[in-house]
Structure 1
Amino acid sequence: MTAEGTATTGAAANETPVLATALTKLVGVRHPLVQTGMGWVAGPRLVSAAANAGALGILASATMTPEQLRSAIGEVASRTDRPFGVNLRADAGDAAERVRIIIDGGVRVASFALAPSRELIARLKDAGVVVIPSIGARRHAEKVAAWGADAVVVQGGEGGGHTGSVATTVLLPQVVDAVDIPVIAAGGFFDGRGLVAALAYGAAGIAMGTRFLLTSDSTVPPAVQARYLKAAVKDVTVTTKVDGLPHRMLRSELVASLERSGRAAALLTAVRHAASFRKLSGLSWAQLVCDGLAMKHGRELTWSQVLLAANAPMLLKASMVDGRTDLGVMASGQVAGLIEDLPSCAELVDRIMAEAHRTVAALPH
């Protein structure tokens, strides 16, 4: 294991013992747990609650304007004195401006859904920001490690949102063996047993999205959370019909409709949602299309898929903010089928860490 010992700290004697790893030492959090930067979900309330619970909370910035991001960072800082991070798109046209906001805001961690450039990594590191890209393949981990990334999140196919086809249990050991920076495991984790398993593989911690989405600190509407809690493992699927890329989400009426729709209907849907997102984000049509093209990553996408790639945030907003499961999509890891309750972030983190210690203690010696 990469766990580097346990210790009891803090004012209260009954606090959950610390499980120190390379991750906790790198970013200064109490526990080797990360709440991922989920668009429309990982806002100031959830991020500060996760941080106060001892995990690394990650603010999702892709669905915010620069000014909204600046305000959100200030709100998180007013709610917690613990380290937290911001997730951003490396290929966004205003990435440099967002990096400046992160640096000016004293944010501890910058995470990326896509590999940032060598120059972007250097700029952040020069300012003392810890850089943690998310990757889905061994070669991507090797690339960002060579460019100076401080750690990586490796997401297996079980994870929600954009995902790959390789299971975490196969991908994780590949990456751990390939790089000499801390590796954070994502995809399929929701409890203390999973944390111990990840540590046994050589990871320095775990990152969870769906599990933190399903907490009482999450701002996701109750009716949408109920839809997640009701889901079985078989109710989580992967589709390319949302934006042309493999996207893991809950089965829904809209997903079924997109799967059945022809090219003309898909284009009409894309244009309608693109118009809504353009108004909300303040982007021009040219900027919207450029962002969509940037998300192609060399794939052969139709124009409807390019538009959907650019305005997919609106499909998420419809569910995650407006509560319209009939009009939106619900990104989800397969673990949604195993989750049955809505604890607070504090309760969840304490439960996971207590279970992890019990699991380690129960292992044969």
Structure 2
Amino acid sequence: MTDEQPHAGPDLPTTLRRLVDELGRVRALGLLRLHEAELETLYACVAGRSPGAEAAAPGDGGGPEAVEHLLHTVVLGLDGELLRDAALHSFGFASGTRDLSGKERRERAAHVYRVGAERFRKHQEKLMLQQVARAIMSFGSHEPAPLPDSRPGSPESTVAPVRAGRHVLRAAFSHGDVLLTLHVAPIELVTGVDVLVSSENIYFEMSKTFRRTVSGSLRRAGATKDAVGRITDDVIARQLADWVRMFGVPGLPVAAGTVAVTSPGALSAQGVRRILHAAVATPSATGDGYETAPAAVAAAVRRVFQLAAAERRAGRVPLRSIALPLLGAGRGGLDARTSAETVVGTLEQVLGADPDWSVHLVTRNPLSARAVIDVLSDRRP
């Protein structure tokens, strides 16, 4: 099997064809060797030029790190879960793939589509590179949606999605301003944060690994896998079941707002030290979906910080940063605005009593991210 990069078709526009060819080089070399690639068109995009403009030098507007950031942001914003997951594996953004060879990353990406690596190279990979190239060209054609002053009633409020990536926001709390980091990205791709919080049901039964939920995504990312991505040890789910046998009764619910602690499994490779599981979702009485009470979300957020602080005081692990999803939103039955209001309001209480935390809010949904920004904007004097 070859690791040659696919060539862009001759029927593509010239600029798009150049971009596809450069993305093929990036995919083949990997992020660790990004500096070796000739990426004139990508550097032009990073520098804010039209992709068809005069070639830019690597130092003009950013080096390989800036190209990596642009590519990561664009890939996270791709439509379609299979396309996005395959691109994350192909380029080396998925957990545990950064230092793999191009051949190994292609095999991981092919497994996403359940096809062989050679078939993937000839078909899905070509389409993926074209979609990423088109997304980069579109990304550079407009300014990002403004983050400040997005109060209800303004043109940017509520309906305007927030660009994928990392945004630092100022929260006006009663005890003083606090900086919060908003990640518009899958939570399993957040790196360098000590604690990731997973939203669970009151039976502490994690979502299936193929579900596009916080619980399912963390379960999948934390599992030990073989060379082709098959799970050999469902680490986080196994440890959560152990917690239930030790502190609860298997098959019976816990009180809404209960929080359980497990290791991060394979996510430790990206700096995660603990997964805290917040039981907030109650199965609906009709048997269709879940219901989440804001009080359960508030109780869970408070408990998350209590447990993290207790572990920090004990000296076992130097926990300093916590990443919270919008608990109960989505499949949990709570709308994003209500979840954001509850989480932010509880954070004001928690950080007022113990400000020595770096707090991150995470959602993969750009419209839910806008709800977070609107809630913070409403708190301005």
Q: What TM-score does the superposition give when structure 1 sets the normalisation length?
A: 0.26
Q: What TM-score does the superposition give when structure 2 sets the normalisation length?
A: 0.26
Greater Rg, structure 1 or structure 2? Answer: 2
